[in-house]
Amino acid sequence: MAAQELHPENWVDLYADYLFNYAVARVSDTDLAKDLVQETFYAGLNSAKNFKGDAAERTWLISILKRKVIDHYRKINSKKGKAEVRINYSSDSDAEGDWLEQQVADPFSKDGDNIMENEELGLAIQDCISKLPQKQAVVFKMKTIQGMSTEDICNELDINPSNLWVMIHRARTALMGCLNDNWF
Amino acid sequence: MKITCQEASNICNKSQYKEASFWDIVKLRIHLLYCKACKQYSKKNSELTSMCDRAGLTMLSKDDKERMKRDLEKKF
C-alpha cells in the first residue's frame, strides 16, 4: 500500500474548522483556539518528515493539536503555586451559598455528560460537513453556522436564492444520512 | 391548498432557518397530514437543526482562513 502523503496546501480548507471546533471546546477562547490551530499547522509542516502515512492526515493533525492544548495548560499552570487547587470563600457576596458545601458541583448534574456529548456531536457534524461537495459545504456553513441571511449569501457567492435552497436541500439530506450512519 | 412533495421539502428547509411564511407553514402542515414520506423528512430535518444548535458549531471566518493560508505558505 502506498503511504499517504501530506498536502499542506489544502490543510486550511480541509481541516481548519474541524481543528478549530476541537480547540474551542477545550480552551473556550476563540483567539487562543485560533493560535493553537495555526501553531498546529506550523508544527505539522515542521515535522512532516515524521509523518509515516499510517494515519489519516486529519488524525495526525488532531494529535498534534492535542499536545498543543496540553502544553498550553501546562504553561499557564507552570508559575509556582498556580498548579495547586485553591478554594476560597466566594469573594463576591452576590453568589449564592456562603458555605463551601454549597459551592461544590451538584453530583446529580448531567451537565458534564451533556457538554461532552455535544462536543463529540460537534465533531461528528464537522466530519460530515467535510464530506460534502465544497460548494454545498460553504453554503451550509454560511447559512447554519454563521447564520447569514439568504440575500447576503447570494450576493457574496453570486448565486440566486433558488440555487441556494437547492444546495441547502442537498447538503441537509446528505448530512441527515451521514449523521444517521455515524451518530445514532 | 395542495402542494407537491418538492414544494413541501422546500418550505421545510426554509422553516429550519425561520424563513418560511405563515401560509407556507400552514400548507406544509396540511401536506404532512397525509404524506408520510414528507413527515419523516420533516422530522429528520428538525432533528438536524436541533443537533446543529446543540453542538455549538463554530468556524473560522474567511479572513482568518486567508491569513492562516498566507502565513502557512510562507513556511513552505
pLDDT digits (tens, 9 = 90+) for A129-142: 888 888 898 899 88
Q: Which of residues 9-68 of B touch A (CB under 8 A)?
A: 9-10, 13-14, 16-17, 19, 44-45, 47-48, 51-52, 54-60, 64-65, 68
Q: Which of A90-104, A133-147, A165-179, B62-76 has the highest mean pLDDT?
A: A165-179
Number of domains chain A is built from: 2
Neighbours of A90 (CB within 10 A): 15
Domain assignment of residue A117, yes or no: no
Structural domain span for residue A168: 131-182
Question: Nearest chain B Cα to A37, which residue?
Answer: B68
Residue A136 sits at the chain B interface (C-beta within 8 Å): no
Residue A176 sits at the chain B interface (C-beta within 8 Å): yes
Per-residue model confidence as pLDDT tens digits over A161-184: 999 999 999 999 999 999 888 776
pLDDT, residue A1, reads 36
- Cross-chain Cβ contact B72/A8 below 8 Å: yes
- The whole-number average pLDDT for the span B26-34 is 94
Retrieve residue A151's grid coordinates. Answer: 440575500
Looking at the partner chain, which of B51, B56, B76 has a beta carbon nearest the beta carbon of A179? Answer: B51
The domain spanning residue A45 has which CATH number?
Answer: 1.10.1740.10
Domain assignment of residue A88, yes or no: no
* % residues pLDDT > 70 (chain B): 100
Q: Does ipTM top 0.90?
A: no
Domain assignment of residue A145, yes or no: yes
Per-residue model confidence as pLDDT tens digits over A50-91: 777 777 888 888 889 999 999 888 888 776 555 556 556 555
Name the domain boundary from A76, A105, A123: A76
